[in-house]
Amino acid sequence: MSGAKANRAYIASVKEASWGITPDTPTLQKINFVSDSLNYALETTTPESIRDDRMVSDVINVSAGNEGGYELEFQALQSGPDDDHLVAALWAEEWVGDATVKTDVEGAVVTVAGSQIDFGAGTAQPTAMSPGDKFLLYGTLNKQNNGIYTVVTAPGADVYTVAEAFAADETLPAGAGQYNGQYIKNGLVRHSFTIERGHADVTEYFVYTGMAVNEFNLSFEAGAIVTGGYTFVGKETDVVQAPIGTLYEDAPTTPFMSAGFNVMNVMIDGAPVPECYLQSVELGINNNLTGKMAVGNFGYCDTSEGEFELSGEIGLYFNDSSMYQNFITSTAFSFSFDLVDNDGNAYRITVPKAKLSADAVNVEGKNTDVMDAAEYMAIYDETEGAMIRIDRFYIADL
């Protein structure tokens, strides 16, 4: 027997109604992944009893629980139509809003001057919007004005100014649409999953129950694909010789994203980042989740969440000292960026308030660019009532 091959493995997940309890007749969602570290973290010890022959008398199991996760290349609907793992990473209750609403807006006029869009000339108008509302514009000429926009003011009927800059004046063509979105913010709701890693070529299946998201990371840099990953803390592991799912949903086929083509509208303190300025962004969430142990239970009897932490690094070509000034004066700032795939599915990730915990501007050697490596930590924002907000707009199957 040649053994299990990585290309025959899969990861699939189903949400649990109760922690550690797999649903009856479950339908599992398969997930595209790059690698995994899912593991039954078994802890052992040896007796302290002394033997006069210097031998070890036993190895004793004392505790166990599930740990680890998977690495990914970012795409829309990564963990299913509800982005279950993304919601769970923020401990949000659920998506707020209706992402299935689309309005045809052929004939609407986009004006660069004043960042203005007039839906009044279109074949249909969107539901009235208020300052702070966000919408996705898609199907513009040569995709030039595709993107997520935030309403700043509504100076007239069906006329809106937006925070983001339009790329060019245009009258929207046939097929252009304005899409409603949904959002989540970090919260207090634990979601748990049963995760199965299957090795069909050797008919062995690892089943991890009670898997709650502990960490989530997302990163992109110039010239590379957008990547990320999740880690979990869970209850227990079983190894079986048949799949546990009644049905399996295929892994998503939405396009993968790259920093060069799919990261858009990067903004710091509400202002667009200049071209040839941003080199990389790293974002990491940590729920400080631990397993709870109790007498009479082998394995975790529950989980305990700690402080919600969000931190990362922004890599900039050093053009001015504005970011470094934020560091030395402990000045809070905001930043956001959009991830828009080639089908128009879009996410906006907003950190509404952050401070720099470290910042380094150094010369690393000749023939190199001087970089500004700014390390940030998110803090509570009074306006959003949160530390992170994720808006999503998807157009598949609408």
Regarding whether 13 and 149 lie in a shared domain, the answer is no
pLDDT of 175 higher than 80: yes
- Under 8 Å between Cβ of 47 and 283: no
Regarding whether 347 and 201 lie in a shared domain, the answer is yes
The runs of H, that is alpha helices, within the chain are 84-90, 259-262, 322-328
Q: What is the pLDDT of residue 398?
A: 42
Regarding whether 161 and 225 lie in a shared domain, the answer is no
Residue 49 located in a structural domain: no
Domain boundary residue, one of 162, 179, 196: 179
Counted domains in the chain:
2
Rounded Cα–Cα distance for residues 230 and 225 (Å): 17
pLDDT single digits (tens) 298-352: 778 889 999 999 999 999 999 989 898 999 999 999 999 999 998 889 999 999 9
Domain boundary residue, one of 129, 163, 179: 179
Residue 47 located in a structural domain: no
Regarding whether 345 and 209 lie in a shared domain, the answer is yes
Mapped onto helix, strand or coil, the DSSP state of residue 8 is helix
Regarding whether 243 and 169 lie in a shared domain, the answer is no
Regarding whether 266 and 118 lie in a shared domain, the answer is no
Find the mean pLDDT for residues 213-233: 96
Residue 232 located in a structural domain: yes
Residue 86 located in a structural domain: yes
Regarding whether 232 and 92 lie in a shared domain, the answer is yes
Q: Percentage of the chain surpassing pLDDT 90? A: 70
Residue 110 pairs in a beta bridge with: 117, 170
pLDDT single digits (tens) 249-268: 999 999 999 999 999 889 99
Q: What does pTM read for this prediction?
A: 0.92
Rounded Cα–Cα distance for residues 204 and 200 (Å): 7
Residue 323 located in a structural domain: yes
Domain boundary residue, one of 179, 197, 227: 179
Residue 143 located in a structural domain: yes
Residue 314's domain comprises: 6-42+57-96+185-393
pLDDT single digits (tens) 106-137: 999 999 999 999 998 777 777 788 898 899 99
